[in-house]
Amino acid sequence: DRWHKSNRLETLKKHGFNKNAIISDIIRGFAEQIFVTGFIHCDPHPGNIFVRPDPKNPKKHQVVILDFGLCIDISDKFRQ
């Protein structure tokens, strides 16, 4: 009950999560994968992206990305 699919907007709102902040964190997370680390999760759908209360501060959210079975490494040249 503490993990919620990222596309369940009414549930996220009911738990006091800010959808714009969640969207921003998801985008930031994938942008970091693409532009910083070069290790990219290639299956980003709501079944693999969950939101839960942050264990360190339950009033805030934490985005959790699951299932890293389909990932790629991109070269630094391509990444840059």
Q: Which of 43, 54, 67, 73 is catalytic?
A: 43
Say whether 73 is catalytic: no
Angle at the Cα of 21 (from 65 to 7), degrees rounded to 5? 55
Q: Sign of dihedral through CA atoms 8, 35, 33, 53? A: negative
- Where in the sequence numbering do the catalytic residues fall? 43
